[in-house]
Amino acid sequence: MAKTDMTKAIEKSLLSYSPKIMGGKAINYIRGASTAFEVVVECGTTSSGIVDCIEVNEYFDKEPHPGCYYGAHFAQYSTEIKQRMADRVMLANACDRGHRLAQEFPTYCDCTSCHLNRTAYTYFPHIMIACLEIKISVADFKSKNGHNFFGNCNFYVVPSDIYNAVKGIVPDDIGIIFYTKTERSEGLRMKKDCAFKEITPELLSWTLLNVLKKTRRDNWKRG
């Protein structure tokens, strides 16, 4: 079946869609997503269905811990820059443990009584699989086909003009992204975030392989 102009427009927008949050997780949106369309659910066969779009993102879990305000600030600088700062800066409001020079302040510090102590975070990167099903009409949405959600994050992607008609029947754990086009702008906007779900390492591996295969085949066809 030939794709409609609306479907093509949504797919084009998905190629550059980079949200900062998905499933309540912070996305490394600067590095972008790996995106593939019409990806099989089960490797090697279409019997279990095809997902309209799968995005592979990097996301971060964060763990809070006590930290130093100055240490966290100076951590971004190289040792050479820290030394130059230390040569000319003597911090008047020294910490409770006697640190005064820029290069001395620790990033992590358990001295919670110190006026420089702040909550800091350690970030742990992970791989996220996002399944996105494109529905361009209410009838399409209500069809029994094309609801293949098995990712960490799962979304319906719909035109803005059917959003009000379908938002009430979208399951609580599924998110909604809508596509809109005006004279001045065109793009996607997340209207409802999804619930994040853990998936097995085996499912993650097979999905990555399916995305890689589909991307490679599409690139070969374009070439």
- Report how far residue 5's alpha carbon sits from residue 141's, in angstroms, rounded to the nearest whole number: 17
pLDDT tens profile 50-67: 999 999 999 998 888 888
- Report how far residue 18's alpha carbon sits from residue 128's, in angstroms, rounded to the nearest whole number: 13
Strands (E), the chain: 21-22, 25-27, 34-42, 45-68, 117-134, 153-159, 175-181, 186-192
Residues 38 and 15 grouped into a single domain: yes
Range of the domain at 87: 63-123
Residues 168 and 179 grouped into a single domain: yes
pLDDT tens profile 182-207: 888 889 999 999 999 999 999 999 99
**DSSP state for residue 4 in the 8-state scheme:** P
* Global pTM value: 0.79
Residues 53 and 152 grouped into a single domain: yes
Residues 48 and 131 grouped into a single domain: yes
Question: Rg of the chain over CA atoms, in angstroms?
Answer: 23
In three-state secondary structure terms, 178 is strand
Residue numbers of the chain with a pLDDT score lower than 50: 1, 92
Residues 72 and 173 grouped into a single domain: no
Show the DSSP H helices in 32-189 as ranges: 69-74, 79-88, 138-142, 163-166
Cβ contact 3:24 at 8 Å: no
Residue 208: alpha-carbon gap to chain centroid: 16
| pLDDT, position 114 | 85
Residues 148 and 53 grouped into a single domain: yes
Residues 168 and 93 grouped into a single domain: no
Q: 114: which strand partners? A: none
